[in-house]
Amino acid sequence: MGLAKVWVFAEAEGDKPASSTLEMLTRAREVADVVECVYVGAGADALAGALGEHGATKVYAVDGGDGLPGVIGAAALESLVATHSPDLVLFAQTYDGRDAIARLSAKLDRPVITNGTALSVDGDAVIVGVAIFGGNMLVDTAFSGEKPYLAAIRPKSFAAEPSGGAAAAVEAVGAVDAGRAGQARVLERHVEEREGPKLEEATVVVSGGRGLGEAGAYDPLVEELAKLLGGASGASRAIVDAGWVPYSKQVGQTGKTVKPKLYIALGISGATQHLVGMKSSDNIIAVNKDGEAPIFGVADLGIVGDVHKVVPKLIEALRARG
C-alpha cells in the first residue's frame, strides 16, 4: 500500500456530499490506509453516511458560521494537520477548494499541485497527473518537499464508487480563529433556478456557442434539444461572457468538466479551453458551419452546416417521434 493517511477537504451540495468529494475519496482509499475528511459547514451528520460509504472513516467537522468555507477550512486545517499529520490533503478544484488549498499552502509554506486529473503513489513518490495545453499533453509531477502534500483535483477526474464502509465518525472541531481573513462574511445567498438534470451528471449535454448568433436562439435551439433528449444545457465561455446565459452553464477549463454519454456542440469552435471540459465524453456530435473548426477534430459525428437550419429540423423530427 502507499500512504498512511490521506485527507479530503469535503464539500456539500445541499444535504449531500459534492460528487467531487466522493470521487476523491474513491481514489484516496486506493492509495492510502486511512482516509478522513475535513468539512466546513452545517449538517456534517447528514453527510457522514455517504462519506463513510466512499471510504472515509472520520469527518472533522467545523462550523464555519457565515464565513467563507475555504478561509475557515484553511485555518482549521493548519492546526488539524499539525496534530494528525496526514501525508496528503486533496482539495477539489472548485471555488472553496481553491481558497482552502491556497491559504493552507501559504500557512504551511508548502507548494501546491493544481488542476490534477490523476493521482498515483510509487514507492515514496506521490505523483499528480495534470493535463496541459487543452488536454493534449499529460504532465506527471511529484512532490519533493516536506509533507503534507497539497493537491487540487479537477472534478470528474475519477469515478465515485461506494466501498460499503460504515458511516464516518463525526468529530466536531471547536471554533476556529482565521484572524483578519476570517472577517469576510457571506451576507446573502442567491440560487439560480435550474430545470432538468445537473450539467455534470446528465447523460446528454447540449451546448451552444457564439455560432447561435444571438441570445434569443439559445432557448429554442439548445434548451429545446436538451429537453427533448432528457439532458442538460451547457455553453461556451463566449456566450457566458456575453451575458446570454449564466456562468453555471459554462463548460471548459474555467467552467465545468462534463463526461456525458453524448455531448452535442452547436456553433462552438472547439477552443482548447472548451475541449478540455468535454472531450472525454463518450460520444460527441458537432454542428458548425466552418468545416475547419477544431471541434470537428474530436467529433464522432460532425455536421458542417448552419445551426439555424439543422437544429430546427432535428427538433421537429424528434418531436414527431413523440
Q: Which residues bind ligand FAD (CB under 6 A)?
A: 111-114, 132, 209-211, 213, 236-239, 250-255, 267-269, 271, 273-274, 277, 287-290, 293, 306-308
The one of another protein, ligand FAD, none whose footprint includes residue 278, by CB under 5 to 8 A per kind, is: none
Contact segment (CB under 8 A) with another protein among 27-35, 43-51, 80-88, 290-298 equals 290-298
The one of ligand FAD, another protein, none whose footprint includes residue 207, by CB under 5 to 8 A per kind, is: none
Site for another protein in 235-254 (CB under 8 A): 237, 240-241, 243, 246-248, 253-254
The one of ligand FAD, another protein, none whose footprint includes residue 238, by CB under 5 to 8 A per kind, is: ligand FAD
The one of another protein, ligand FAD, none whose footprint includes residue 109, by CB under 5 to 8 A per kind, is: another protein
The binding track of 79-108 with respect to another protein, each residue x by CB under 8 A or -, is --------------xxx--xx-xxx-xxx-
Q: How far is CA 286 from CA 150, 209, 295, 304, 305, in A?
A: 38, 11, 7, 8, 10
Q: Torsion angle, CA of 86/91/97/102, rounded to 10 degrees?
A: 60
Site for another protein in 115-154 (CB under 8 A): 115, 125, 127, 131-133, 135-146, 152
The one of another protein, ligand FAD, none whose footprint includes residue 318, by CB under 5 to 8 A per kind, is: another protein
The one of ligand FAD, another protein, none whose footprint includes residue 293, by CB under 5 to 8 A per kind, is: ligand FAD
Q: Which residue has the cell 460532425?
A: 302
How far is CA 21 from its chain centroid? 9
Q: How far is CA 293 from CA 24, 36, 210, 217, in A?
A: 35, 45, 13, 21
Q: Which residue from 29, 110, 249, 274 is in contact with another protein, where contact means CB under 8 A?
A: 110
User: Helices 44-53 and 19-31: crossing angle, nearest 10°?
Assistant: 50
Q: What is the closest distance, in whole angstroms, from the C-beta atom of residue 308 to ligand FAD in the complex? A: 6
Q: What is the 3-state secondary structure (H, E, C) of 200-239?
A: CCCCEEEEECHHHCCHHHHHHHHHHHHHHCCCEEEECHHH
DSSP reduced 3-state for 303: strand
- C-alpha span between 151 and 8 (Å, rounded): 10
Number of residues counted as binding another protein (CB under 8 A): 93
Continuous segment of H or E residues that includes residue 131 = strand 125-132
Instruction: Tell me if 192 contacts another protein by CB under 8 A.
Output: yes
Contact segment (CB under 8 A) with another protein among 23-31, 32-40, 52-60, 64-72 equals 64-72
Instruction: Tell me if 268 contacts another protein by CB under 8 A.
Output: no
Instruction: Tell me if 31 contacts another protein by CB under 8 A.
Output: no
Choose among 106, 126, 104: nearest CA to 3.
126
